[in-house]
Amino acid sequence: MAGIRKHIVVTQSVRGVVLALSAPAMADMQLLGDEDMADISGQSGITLEMELGMTADRLTYFDDDRGIYLEDFRVGSASQPGKSAAHVIRVDITDEASLNLDYLVEDRRIEFGDIRLAGAPGIGMGGIFFDHSLQGNLRISPGGAFGSSGYTFDTAYTMTGGRLGYRTNGNEVFLDDITLSVEALGVTLDVVGSTLELNAPRVSGSYDVGAIRYSNNPANHGNTYDVATGQALPSYGGLSGSFDLSSKTGITAGGREGEGFRLDNETTINSASFIYHDDDHALAFREITGQYRLNDLRVDVTADRYGRDALGFTLGSLNGEFNIGRIEMGASGQSIGEVNVSFMLQDHIYNGRSYTNAVYLQGGGHPDAGSQGLRLSTEWSLQLADLSYTEDGNRVIFSGLQSWGQGDVTVNVTRDGELNGTRFYDGLRIGFENVSAGYRVNGLRVGSEDAPLQGGTELLLALGFYPAYEFDMDGQVTLGAGGASGEGLTINSDIRIRNGRAAIIAAPYDEGAGEVSQKGLWISDLSYDAHVRDMTLDVTEDGLALVKGEAWSLMDVGNLRVGDKDAGSSFGRFVAQKYETGSSMIIVPGGAGNVCAGGSGGTESACAASGGIWEARGDEGITIQLKQILAKEVSDARKNALTWETNRQVDSSGKPINNTGSRLVLDDIHTSDGGDFDGDGVDDNTFGIRTDLSVDVYQTKVVKKTDGADALGVVGARGDEKIMDPAAGAGYRYVSSPTTADLDNRPLGFAVRARSRFKELSINNIDLFHPTGGPQTAVYGVKMQNFDIEANLTATPIP
């Protein structure tokens, strides 16, 4: 293709090649007559036996005079560094002029020591290595999808003993013990105009990854076992799955700026599965189907918005849809339901600013982690996405999700310790630098895509999910290998958010007449610092368990506003400090099950007798079990406290000045089990605040609040029940005495059953701060004990 120049330096060539011909070797050449030739029947094909070892100092790709270097290239033995890898290839040509290749590759490693950009000396992206043994066949036939000038490929192969790893500064993360089987028949390659087209009508296969391992010892490079201890390297867990897909790919010369190339792709996932294994437990995504279309992805060696040399990936658009038929977890493999997501990534304007989709790949990572790593200068624009969840046949849609942002993301494989004043942890470190981002959800739709928009996302605030959120962020998350026991993940993170604006309750941003500024209840002028140490993530016999070792945070809400997020009326400033030890969240398959809404009783008859409504919400759904251990104060930074400040003074620009108003402070809030039951002289604190949230999509009773017509003109009396009816003009009607058939058509809602309880919750002191009089303790100590409350909440559309 035009615009591509390559420079390869080979420091060591192929070490050995042995050719075995099927016909016996002759000492002397002899001329044979026609009769002699007619009597000869030979064997076809050539067998090549090779011991292959190859190195190259550098492979270079140039694009508009900018270069990217693949350094320290090596092909050889995976288990014996410096040795060759065995290759056996049988070559045959059929009567149809097809070339057949049967091959066996044993113990081969392909490796790049580093990837560098010519304009960024001294830093690299890190190394990649790929170990494998391979056995399979490939047939190349003349003629493609568009005529005789193309080619058709039929291939099937099995890879065993595979490893695929990424390495920075002597530390590495790698997929270990990979097995992969692939069959791809009828793949065609053609030149259509100026585009190289690759069509794969069907590619199917299966894979298994024994473990995803981590090492912080350079001597362990590419090994399953630690060279010092002989023990298996720590594991994040394993993977397995299968796939059956078809795709069409176009490659065209020319990037976004001069030379480079363009990629277009359409892929259909006919079926697939993806399973994560953690010791003897699994998180399984089954019955996956979908499709996506990649349009105008350009690849250039270029510069990012700051002028830094980079390998640039700029996107025209990407749209598609995926469906996961079953998500299974826990010892019984119970399904939580079905998930579907549709999405469109393309340029769009948010809050008056245009965003695009681009990633500029650079070397270095975090500057204190060493010279190797990845830096991704990113910008994204998710113009529209719908996420739906279906359980027991009922569906709720998180409609109109948008997201946008830009900033730098760094990736390093790090080891525990402090370098140049920065604290690092064992694992894969993902850093965030100057990230400015946001997202918003238009609302919920229950039942179908054309159902009316409604609220309900605020029911998920307990999980830290806001209906809308804008923020500037810096920080890091390090994913370490190994969970609470055995495989799993250990997470250490430090996140800092500034200039945050989060909605607690928000109206839709688009009700059909175009996008508008959202109104609601807003956390504005937000600063948030959060730190987590030794948090583990494991798949257990109950479900997915997240357990915090130690976590502390400071949330400073400059203004709690009503209406507009920037100019709405303010309740004042709120500051929340949190300090937890041993808190946890467990996601359990299955929702609330049988519920007596509005009454009490464990059976349908007992529920009805108490005035309640018996709801059999089915087997699917999600239950989230939260346990918050609020620890006693150990320092000003590590404690639980809540501050409310009003009547602040303002500066010359009219901005409130913190700590100049009147403040109410609830200090040193902590939980307790109510006594010292283990005899260590300190009150036990293991129960905490426990909250169970069961989420289902289910029919519910909705009654009219007033007489007359509602907002859509549907007439009814106060107390009439709303019944869905496709034959009615608005899709529903009001009924004073619903029949059994009517009850089967009650409206669907987003149903959350909650239960919260604690043994003891204490507030050490409640103080009042006056701007001139200083602090004064109003209450010395508050204790609340044996709290247990349940609630059933269902969100349905309001006409």
78-98 pLDDT, tens digit each:
999 889 999 999 999 988 889
Q: Is 709 within a domain?
A: yes
Phi (first) and psi of residue 72, to 5 degrees: 55, 55
**What single string gives the DSSP state of each residue in 468-504?**
EEEEEEEEEEEEEE--SSSSSEEEEEEEEEEEEEEEE
436-455 pLDDT, tens digit per residue, is 999 999 998 888 888 888 87
Q: Is 381 within a domain?
A: yes
Q: Is 674 within a domain?
A: no
Residue showing tokens 């826990």: 330
| pLDDT confidence bin for 44, thresholds 50/70/90 | low
Higher pLDDT, 228 or 459: 228
452-462 pLDDT, tens digit per residue, is 888 777 777 87
What are the beta bridge partners of residue 420?
Answer: none
Task: Say what the pLDDT of residue 2 is.
Answer: 41
Alpha-carbon distance values, 402 to 293, 348, 472, 594, 682 (Å) = 19, 10, 17, 35, 49
* Structural domain boundaries enclosing 222: 46-469
Q: Is 346 within a domain?
A: yes
Task: Enumerate the H helices of 622-757 as residue ranges.
Answer: 740-743
Run of H or E including 666 = strand 662-672
For residue 397, is it left (φ>0), alpha (ψ between -120 and 50) or beta? beta
132, 162 Cβ separation under 8 angstroms:
yes
348, 315 Cβ separation under 8 angstroms:
no
- Is residue 533's pLDDT more than 60? yes
Task: Give the CA-trace dihedral at 27, 31, 35, 36, to 10 degrees.
Answer: 0
Task: Say what the pLDDT of residue 129 is.
Answer: 97
Task: Say what the pLDDT of residue 38 is.
Answer: 52
The DSSP secondary-structure symbol of 124 reads B
The Cα–Cα gap between 356 and 378 comes to: 10
- Domain count of the chain? 2
For the chain, what is the mean pLDDT? 91
Write down which residue in 450, 469, 488 finishes a domain.
469
Higher pLDDT, 6 or 153: 153
For residue 82, is it left (φ>0), alpha (ψ between -120 and 50) or beta? left
- Is residue 308's pLDDT more than 50? yes
Write down which residue in 446, 469, 492 finishes a domain.
469
**What single string gives the DSSP state of each residue in 446-460?**
ESSTTSPPB--GGGG
Higher pLDDT, 589 or 20: 589
Task: Say what the pLDDT of residue 382 is.
Answer: 98
Q: Is 213 within a domain?
A: yes
- Is residue 142's pLDDT more than 80? yes
Write down which residue in 451, 469, 487 finishes a domain.
469
Q: Is 65 within a domain?
A: yes
For the ranges 5-19, 466-480, 492-506, 781-795, the lowest mean pLDDT is seen at: 5-19
Q: Is 517 within a domain?
A: no
- Is residue 613's pLDDT more than 80? yes
Max Cα–Cα distance, the chain, nearest Å:
122
Higher pLDDT, 562 or 748: 562
Q: What is the pTM of this model?
A: 0.91
Average pLDDT over residues 128-156: 95
Average pLDDT over residues 47-60: 91
The DSSP secondary-structure symbol of 305 reads T
Residue showing tokens 């993530």: 537
| pLDDT confidence bin for 799, thresholds 50/70/90 | low
Give percent above pLDDT 70 in the chain. Answer: 94
